[in-house]
């Protein structure tokens, strides 16, 4: 019985983590793809911008360049030039300037002097980097969803154990 309860709790925890992870904020089309991880970051935080551009449209030797507003990519709205591998894939870590106002920013992609036609959304918050993540459970802005799911699974397991413990105690008396 204990093995069954443990297996059920582990399955519930795994399911909760998958559900809480949510969708990726990424765009793709026949020309390529782009994603930004995490999709929400405080000003001054670091994100990973990755994706691909078809090599028949833009030679692999050409760099990928993320684009947005000059508030996100000062001074001109062009992000860091990023080399691509032979398959057209790229990835770059980018530190969002501390001066970037809170809001949602659409990040596009250029390669070989033209727009690729893909975009991803990045939400910048005004929470300072390194600030304490206060709040009740998952209410803090920087709380990872996986920890919320883990806590929920632990509470569910505790509830199951209490119910079975009471039943066992009632049978023993």
Q: How far apart are CA 98 and CA 44, in angstroms?
A: 4
Mean pLDDT by 10 residues, the chain (173 residues): 54 46 52 94 96 93 95 95 95 96 96 93 82 53 64 79 78 76
Given CA atoms 72, 78, 79, 85 in this order, what sign does their dihedral have? positive
pLDDT at 164: 76
Q: What is the pTM of this model?
A: 0.59
E strands within 38-158?
40-42, 46-53, 64-67, 89-95, 103-111, 114-125
Q: Report yes or no: 27 and 120 within 8 Å, Cβ to Cβ.
A: yes
pLDDT at 20: 39
Question: Is the distance from CB of 110 to CB of 116 less than 8 angstroms?
Answer: yes
- Burial class (CB within 10 angstroms; exposed 0-12, middle 13-18, buried 19+) of 118: buried
């Amino acid at each position: 019985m204990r093995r069954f309860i443990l297996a059920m709790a582990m399955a519930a925890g795994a399911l909760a983590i998958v559900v809480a992870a949510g969708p990726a904020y990424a765009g793709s089309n026949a020309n390529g793809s782009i994603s930004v991880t995490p999709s929400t970051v405080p000003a001054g935080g670091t994100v990973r911008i990755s994706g691909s551009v078809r090599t028949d449209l833009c030679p692999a030797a050409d760099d990928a360049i993320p684009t947005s507003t000059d508030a996100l990519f000062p001074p001109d709205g062009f992000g860091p030039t990023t080399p691509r591998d032979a398959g057209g894939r790229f990835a770059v870590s980018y530190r969002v300037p501390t001066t970037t106002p809170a809001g949602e920013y659409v990040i596009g992609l250029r390669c070989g002097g033209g727009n690729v036609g893909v975009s991803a959304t990045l939400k910048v918050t005004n929470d300072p980097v390194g600030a304490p993540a206060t709040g009740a459970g998952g209410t803090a802005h920087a709380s990872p969803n996986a920890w919320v799911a883990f806590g929920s699974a632990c509470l569910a397991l505790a509830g199951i154990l209490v119910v079975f413990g009471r039943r066992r105690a009632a049978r023993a008396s």
